[in-house]
């Protein structure tokens, strides 16, 4: 049976990962998650100070063509070796993550609905919407705790790239979503999406039995 492919987008700090986590709690080992963030292009040979100034919120910063290739493989039942991006050094790691095909494939990232190549692969498209002030506060806390950033770098990056790219690329992709949900902890939205996923899986199962 062809896996159900779900795209989950939304601004930085909107609750995408929280919502993805709740879906994983519901469906367990039936879900595999692929993170668009891991497909940032390699910056080997670029000095660290220059890497910090790269616009990581522009679609061109991501090797989306490789992600598309990998998703097509997963849909065909072939495992992939996903790249891993190390945010502490602003570069792709030498490590990879093996991702096995599952009946549900979630693709998460701020720009996954902004690219038609990705949208065309998704059976369900979700946009997680959260107040801008709340998103930036979450971003600050995450970058300080998990990515080794200092507050000046976080503020500079937000004002010069994150905020303008959000309004240029991320927010317009909201119109491409099948579901727009308010935050990652919305229980009604979770119930609706879970029901939709189960319906689609049931339809696919019946199709394979004919």
Instruction: Domain of residue 130: give its range.
Output: 4-181
CATH number, domain of 41, equals: 3.40.50.300
In tens, the pLDDT along 119-151 reads: 999 999 999 998 877 888 887 888 887 777 778
Q: Tell me how many domains the chain contains.
A: 1
- Residue 137, domain member (yes or no): yes
Q: How confident is the model at residue 152 (pLDDT cuts 50, 70, 90)?
A: confident
For residue range 160-207, list pLDDT tens digits in order.
888 999 999 999 999 999 999 998 888 999 999 999 999 999 888 776
Is the full-model pTM beyond 0.85?
yes
Q: Tell me the three state secondary structure of residue 148.
A: coil
Answer whether residue 206 is part of any domain: no
CB atoms within 10 A of CB 76: 10
* Beta partners for residue 6, in sequence order: 106, 124
Is residue 173 within 8 Å of 111, Cβ to Cβ?
yes
Domain assignment present for 152: yes
pLDDT, mean of residues 64-72: 98
- Span 64-92, mean pLDDT? 95
- Distance from C-alpha of 169 to C-alpha of 99, rounded to nearest angstrom: 28
Q: Are 165 and 11 in contact (CB under 8 A)?
A: no
């Amino acid at each position: 049976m062809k896996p159900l492919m779900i795209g989950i987008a939304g601004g930085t700090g909107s609750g995408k990962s929280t919502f993805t986590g709740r879906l994983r709690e519901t469906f367990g080992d039936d879900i595999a998650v692929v993170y668009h963030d891991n497909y940032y292009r390699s910056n080997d040979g670029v000095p660290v100070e220059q890497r910090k100034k790269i616009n990581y919120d522009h679609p061109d910063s991501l090797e989306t063509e490789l992600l598309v290739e990998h998703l097509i493989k997963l849909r065909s039942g072939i495992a992939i070796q996903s790249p891993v991006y190390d945010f502490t050094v602003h570069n792709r790691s030498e490590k990879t993550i093996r991702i096995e095909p599952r009946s549900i494939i979630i693709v998460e990232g701020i720009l996954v609905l902004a690219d038609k190549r990705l949208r065309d692969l998704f059976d369900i498209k979700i946009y997680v919407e959260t107040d801008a002030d709340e998103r930036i506060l979450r971003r600050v806390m995450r970058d300080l705790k998990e990515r080794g950033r200092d507050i000046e770098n976080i503020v500079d990056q937000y004002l010069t790239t994150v905020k303008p790219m959000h309004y240029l690329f991320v927010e317009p992709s909201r119109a491409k979503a099948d579901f727009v949900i308010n935050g990652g902890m919305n229980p009604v939205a979770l119930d609706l999406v879970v029901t939709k996923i189960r319906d689609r899986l049931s339809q696919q199962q019946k199709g394979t039995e004919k």
